[in-house]
């Protein structure tokens, strides 16, 4: 099974499989209808404290990844998402502008690492989130 990663602002595609929003907050400027999501798993997102600390500052990326992976290890919703992704094609949706430094990369890598599921980001390797 493949886990894809995509900005929620990109148009939905049949190849997305089940679209799962993994942001804690609903992305601005997009309606729930246009988002075409299957699920909103906000509890897989980084804690509010971690999200605010990171602030999408690339110099904090390494430490953010470490802290977020630690949160995921103790997150039962992430474990359920891992099991779900094993059985279906899923696309993790996120709202961040930065496609190289965002929590969806870390989450996809975590899910892949803990279930040996492939991951792709528009055809590229999502290992950047590892």
> CB atoms < 10 A from the CB of 128, how many?
18
Count: domains in the chain: 1
- Domain span including residue 51: 2-129
Taking only the tens place, the pLDDT of each residue in 11-53 is 999 999 999 999 999 999 999 999 999 999 999 999 999 999 9
Stronger pLDDT, 90 or 124, i.e. the higher one: 90
Is the confidence at residue 118, as pLDDT, over 60?
A: no
Q: How far apart are CA 76 and CA 58, in angstroms?
A: 28
Confidence (pLDDT) at 126 = 39
Q: What is the pLDDT of residues 52-83, one digit of tens each?
A: 999 999 999 999 999 999 999 999 999 999 99
């Amino acid at each position: 099974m493949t886990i894809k990663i995509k900005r929620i602002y990109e148009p939905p595609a049949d190849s997305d499989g089940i679209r799962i929003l993994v942001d804690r907050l609903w992305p601005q400027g997009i309606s729930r209808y246009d988002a075409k999501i299957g699920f909103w798993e906000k509890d897989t997102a980084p804690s509010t404290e971690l999200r605010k600390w990171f602030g999408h500052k690339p110099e904090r990326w390494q430490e953010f990844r470490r802290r977020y992976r630690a949160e995921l290890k103790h997150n039962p919703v992430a474990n359920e998402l891992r099991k779900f992704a094993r059985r279906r094609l899923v696309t993790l949706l996120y709202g961040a502008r930065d496609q190289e430094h965002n929590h969806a990369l870390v989450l996809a890598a975590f899910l892949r690492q803990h279930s040996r599921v492939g991951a792709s980001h528009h055809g590229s390797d999502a290992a950047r989130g590892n």
